[in-house]
Copies of this chain bind each other. A is one copy, B any other.
Amino acid sequence: MVIGGNPGGMAAISQARKGKPDLDVVVIEKGSWTSYAACGIPFVVGGEIDGIERLVARSVEQHRATGTDVRIRHEATTIDLEQQEVEVRDLDGGESFRLGYDQLLVATGGQPVRPPLPGIDLPFVHGVQTLDDGKELLDKAVSHALGRVAVVGAGYIGLEIAEAFCHRGALATVIDQADQPMTTLDPDIAGLVTAAMIHRGLDVRLGVSVEGFEPGKVLTSEGEVEADLVILGIGTGPRAELAAAAGLETGAKGAIVVDDRQRTSVDGVWAAGDCCVARHQVTGELVHMPLGTYANRMSRVAGINIGGGDARFPGVLGTAITRLCELELARTGLSTHEAERAGFDVATASVKSLTRAGYYPGAAPMTVKLIYDNPSGRVLGGQIAGGQGAGKRIDVVATAITAGMTVEQVLDLDLSYAPPFGGVWDPVLVAARSAVSDRSSSAGASR
C-alpha cells in the first residue's frame, strides 16, 4: 500500500515491480491527481505553461492500466501498525473502511507552514502544495477581478508565485519577517534577488512580520496590506501527523525518521518524499529538505528495496535552482551561516563574472560565491546569481563537494569554454582562483 499519489509515492511502484512482478499495489490519494510536478505550479499560474494537466507525468488512468489500484479522493485517516491495516475514508461517498498491507510506503508529502495567526483559515488565504491548490490559484490568476495579491514568505515558492501573479497583471506584495529573501542564500547573494524583484515591479516588504488576516487585508507589524488573495509561501513542513499518530519515529521538524534505505522505525513500513528526513552529506545531520529531486530519488530507493533489492539514498546537499525576474539563482551545500553553525572555520570567495565571453552578444553579469573550510580548503557550499546560463553551473560545485574537493582542486578542473558559453576561465574557476589567491596571500602573511 502507498499513501500518497505524488512522485514520492508513485515512483516506487515500477521499481518494486521490477523485483516482484506480481505485487498487488493500492494507492490512497486524498486529492484528484497522481504523479504530478508541483514545482511547475507557479509557471502554470503565471501562464508560461498552458494548463495544470500538463504537470501530470502519469495520470490515474495510466497507473490503473499497469494494474495499480489507485483510489483518488480517498484519505488515509489511521495507520494501525499492529494489525497492518490502514483506515481509509472515501471523501466523496463519506464512508470509511480498513485495508490491510504487507508493506506500507508512507508518502504523505509536505504541507505549507501555517502559523497560528488570527484569520489564517479565511478562505482568501491559500497554500501552494498540491495540484488542487494550483488549480484554484490558476482560476484566480485568470480572473479579471484580481487586483492585489499578498504573498507571505519570500522563499523560492513565495517569490515564484508572486512573479507569476505579477505576470498576470496583479499588484503583488511580498512580505517576509527576515531582512532578506531566500534565507538559504547568503545575504549578499539574496540582495541581488531583492534588487531583481524590485526592478520587476514587486512590492517587497522585508523585516515585516505578519500578525493576522482580515477579509481584504493582511495585518503586519508595519500596518495593513490590502489583498484580494493571500498566498502562504513561508515554507513546507512534513505532512507526518498520520505517521506520528501511528507511532512511527519522527525527527527534524516532525518529519518521519528513515534510514538510507528509506525504512522507518517499524519493519515493513517505508517512507519517501517531503514527509521524511534525509541525511545532509556535509554535516551528517538528519534534516528536512522538501525538494522534488529528493522525493523522486527516495521513492526509487524505497521501491527497489521493497522489490527485494538493495538501494541507498545518498543524502542531500541542498542543491536548488530557480529563475526569478530574469535572474537565475542556484545554491548547493552549506551557506556561510550554516557552515559556521556546523563548526567549520569558514572563508568565502565571491566574484563577478559574465555568462558569455565579454565580447559576445548577450553576455550578462553573474556572481559566483564559494564557501570553503580553512585550512583544509574543502569546498562546503556555493551560490550563483546571474543571467541566462549562470544557474546550472552550480552542478559543478555540487559535484566537487560530493567528491570532497578543495578550492585548489576546483581551480584545476578542465571545464568547457567557447565564447557563447563564457570566458576562458569559467566563472566557477574564477571564484576558485580568488579563493586560492586569498589562501596563498594569507599563508604568506602568517609566515
Interface residues, chain A, with chain B CB atoms under 8 Å away: 7, 37, 39-40, 43, 48-49, 54-55, 281, 291-293, 296, 314, 316-323, 330, 332, 357, 359-361, 389, 391-396, 398-400, 402-403, 405, 409, 412-422, 424-426, 428
Interface contact B321-A421, CB-CB below 8 Å: yes
| Interface pair B37/A293, CB less than 8 Å apart | no
Partner among B330, B357, B415 whose Cβ is within 8 Å of the Cβ of A416? B330
Please name all residues of chain B whose beta carbon is closer than 8 Å to the beta carbon of A39 when the two chains form the complex: 417-419
Once A7-B424, A360-B49 are accepted as A-B contacts, the answer to whether A416 and B399 lie under 8 Å apart by CB is no
Does the CB pair A416–B391 fall under 8 Å? Answer: yes
A402 touches B417 (CB 8 A): no
Is A40 a contact partner of B413 (Cβ separation < 8 A)? Answer: no
Docked complex Cα distance between A110 and B82 (Å): 76
Interfacial chain B residues near A323, Cβ < 8 Å: 418, 420-421
Asked if A319 and B414 make an inter-chain contact with CB atoms under 8 angstroms apart, the answer reads yes
Question: Once the chains bind, are B414 and A360 in contact (CB under 8 Å)?
Answer: no
With A292-B424, A391-B421, A399-B396 as given contacts, are A359 and B40 in contact (CB-CB < 8 Å)?
yes
> Closest 8 A-B residue pairs measured CB to CB?
A403-B403, A321-B416, A314-B412, A54-B359, A317-B414, A399-B399, A319-B414, A395-B415
Q: Report if A360-B419 is in contact (Cβ < 8 Å); known contacts: A389-B389, A414-B402.
A: no
Task: Tell me the nearest residue of chain B to A36, going by C-beta.
Answer: B359
Given contacts A48-B360, A281-B414, A319-B414, contact A392 B389 (CB under 8 A): yes
Cross-chain pairs A/B with CB under 8 angstroms, 9 sampled: A37-B424, A48-B361, A292-B417, A293-B425, A319-B414, A319-B415, A320-B416, A389-B392, A395-B415
Measured between C-beta atoms, what is the minimum distance from A366 to chain B in Å?
A: 12
A314 to B314, CA, bound (A): 29
Give the residues in chain B near A389, CB-CB below 8 Å.
Answer: 389, 392
Residue of A395, A396, A418 ringed by the most chain B CB atoms within 10 A: A418
Residues of B within 8 A of A55 (CB): 359
Give the docked Cα–Cα distance between A96 and B212 (Å).
86
Which of A317, A318, A321, A409 has the most CB atoms of chain B within a 10 A radius of its CB? A321
Q: Which residues of B contact A54 (CB under 8 A)?
A: 359
Separation of A399 and B151 alpha carbons in the complex (Å): 39
Add 16 more A-B contacts to A39-B417, A389-B392, A395-B413 (CB < 8 A): A40-B357, A40-B419, A43-B419, A49-B361, A49-B419, A293-B417, A293-B425, A319-B415, A319-B416, A321-B418, A330-B416, A393-B395, A395-B396, A398-B413, A402-B412, A403-B405
Residues of B within 8 A of A428 (CB): 395
Contact B398 A316 (CB under 8 A): no
Q: Are B394 and A413 in contact, with the CB atoms below 8 A?
A: no
**A309 nearest CB neighbor, chain B only:** B440
Contact of A413 among B43, B320, B402, B421 (CB under 8 A): B402
Q: Residue A421 contacts which of B281, B392, B402, B422 (CB distance < 8 angstroms)? A: B392
Contact A43 B412, CB 8 Å, known A417-B293, A424-B296 = no
Name the one of B7, B322, B359, B405 contacting A37, with C-beta atoms under 8 angstroms. Answer: B359
